[in-house]
Chain A
Amino acid sequence: MSYLSIRDLELRLKGGGRLLRRVSLEVARGEVHGLVGESGAGKSMIGKAVLGTLPRSVEIVSGQILLDGTDVLAMHPAARRRLIGATCALIPQDPLTALNPAHRVGPQITDRLVDILRWPRAKAEARARELLAEVQIAEPERVMRSYPHELSGGMRQRILIASAFAAEPKLIVADEPTTALDVTVQKQILKLIKAMQERHGTALLFVTHDLGVVSKICQRLSVLYAGMVVEDTDVRTFFRAPRHPYSRALLAATPKYTDPTHSLTPVPEAVIATVRAEVAEADRRAGA
């Protein structure tokens, strides 16, 4: 049975348009599931809905989000918060803004263990040192005493990864975790996330717009367009024989750096028209 299972999730801007259109997806234990799509396709919204950090302007219209069989949307908010804190984690997009500048790094890794999971402080600190070593940070002691502004972007992302794995979560949402980094650092961080995920057997919901990244790290992926899942398949099938015309166009639009003669191909108008028609059809059926 899958660990995370999203069923017919519908999100809407309060008094506005639809953001997610009956999105369903399954993430098995230890599996890496990619969410790809253009900006505004709703891929980040799925991660936010799972972690309960949707902006106040967004409302959940219908659907279920099951964590290990429990519908978190039906839970009391405080209980849900604690459950999420104990079983899930987030690797955020921008390491420069995701650590609190007013606090030292150490407490930002141990806080969940001490405050939410009630670990003794010494044990939590030992765990933090262990994790920092695991994400290949030299001198964990010194880093834990540092303030975020004293560390580089790559270092901070490693710290955030360590912090995400601290409570041995079952599911981690990685929201474009390499987008804000230098290209050289991107590769290392990606490798690190992959290695950590495999070692800890964590399920990963990996939000990205980069199909290259998906091919390296994911087992399954969902392609989104305008808040609708147009294709949900395993990665091998996707790269060999994408079913949906939008997926094919997206794949063709990915730059191939190994081939200098390759020029960029935008998604053709006709494909966009097709997928738009599908969205309209889905909306019509939902309305009817």
Chain B
Amino acid sequence: MQLLQTIFLRLITTAVTLFGVAVIVFVVIRIVPGNPIAMMLPPGATEADIARLSALYGLDKSIPEQFAIWSGGVLRGDFGTSITTRQPVLGLVLGRLPATLELAIMALVMAVLIGGVMALTGTRLRGTRSEGAIDVANGMALSIPDFLWGLVLILAFGVLLPVFHISGRITPSLQLPFSTNFYLFESLVRLRFDLWADIVSHMFLPALALAIPLSAVIGQLLKQSLKETMHLDYVTLSRTKGYGENHVILHEALPNAILPTLTLIGVQFTFLIGGTVIIERLFSYEGLGNLAIDAVINRDLPLIQGIVILFAAIFTVVNLVVDLLYATLNPRLRHA
């Protein structure tokens, strides 16, 4: 019951948040210079042409009026039509969403694995030179942003030592039997490992670029929490029972030390999704981020609105999931 109540309250705050985001985005993209009509008409178009086209898209009305019309549509599940592609926004966005979700989740898994291994090894080898080396590697990974890692990876594993694909989501000549846009997932379900390998080979570098800075953050915090936990009495008691270092770290310290890291992962994952925008551009990956950049360049107002609302919705869902996971892992919160 506690769970349902939590989810219900979260849904209400989510609705309020999304409304706020919608208002801000709607107003801001109409106030900043540049408008879609100017992008669509050839140079030398007359005032009459501009007025006619503005009226066609409803851009001649006042901003509150436009917002009322748009939000009325949204409540009916109609996010409007993209100005540049003339397709429904909802379909465009939902079509691209799986690509970005798969990329973000793959990056998250990689970040947790790399960061976790770094933290555990660093704790196991604490007080040695290897711990120092891990700390230095962590600092480097942290101080270089994801898009720079992207360029480094393209150069290293795409150009100098071409083992991975550096452009697109899948080799275009392949025949795709998919019925959803979750290529990575569906290729596994259909046991098409040839396609799966091709998709992974395309996703690996962009996911790694996104994962490296996050893995450093995870590694640093987890190692710090582990270090503090290793001094606690229950860890000492476990040693006197005859347990070795590995058991003590994994079984006694880790379940407690992981809690602050989990909160951090939740916050950082939303940054990671934001990071997909540039990384997708860099790797020509056909996801939401690439769509977003095109939309902004073309001043495709309905499309920008749709994408931003969707990003905001993803952020709130991620935070909800983290909170629920936190409650599951921490017995002290379970009955509180």
Contacts and interface: CB of A to CB of B under 8 A. Distances in A.
Interface string A49-63: 001110010000000
A89 B244 CA distance: 15
A100 B256 contact: yes
A149 B331 CA distance: 9
B240 A90 contact: yes
Contact of B242 (A86, A102, A149): A86
B43 interface: no
A97 B255 contact: no
Contact of B127 (A56, A82, A97, A101): A56
B86 interface: no
Contacts of A78: 244
Interface stretch (B63-71, B173-181, B230-238): B230-238
Interface of B: 127, 232-234, 236-244, 247, 252, 255-256, 330-332
A103 interface: yes
Closest 8 CB pairs of A and B: A85-B242, A102-B255, A116-B242, A112-B241, A98-B233, A100-B234, A97-B233, A90-B240
A99 B237 CA distance: 8
Interface string A97-117: 111111100000001100110
Contacts of B234: 97-101
Given A97-B233, A98-B233, A100-B256, A52 B331 contact: no
Nearest to B127: A56
Given A84-B242, A102-B330, 10 more contacts: A82-B242, A85-B243, A88-B240, A100-B252, A101-B256, A101-B331, A102-B255, A112-B241, A116-B242, A147-B332
Contacts, number: 69
A53 B252 contact: no
Contacts of B330: 102
Nearest to B256: A102
30 contacts: A51-B239, A52-B240, A81-B243, A81-B244, A85-B243, A88-B240, A90-B236, A90-B237, A90-B240, A92-B233, A92-B236, A94-B233, A98-B233, A98-B234, A100-B234, A100-B238, A100-B255, A101-B234, A101-B332, A102-B255, A102-B256, A102-B330, A102-B331, A103-B255, A111-B243, A112-B241, A115-B247, A116-B243, A149-B331, A160-B237
A81 B242 contact: yes
A115 B239 CA distance: 13
Nearest to B234: A100
Given A97-B232, A97-B233, A147-B331, A112 B242 contact: yes
Given A97-B234, A102-B256, A52 B241 contact: no
A72 B232 CA distance: 24
Nearest to A87: B242
Given A103-B255, A147-B332, A149-B332, A98 B237 contact: yes
A256 B324 CA distance: 55
Contacts of B127: 56
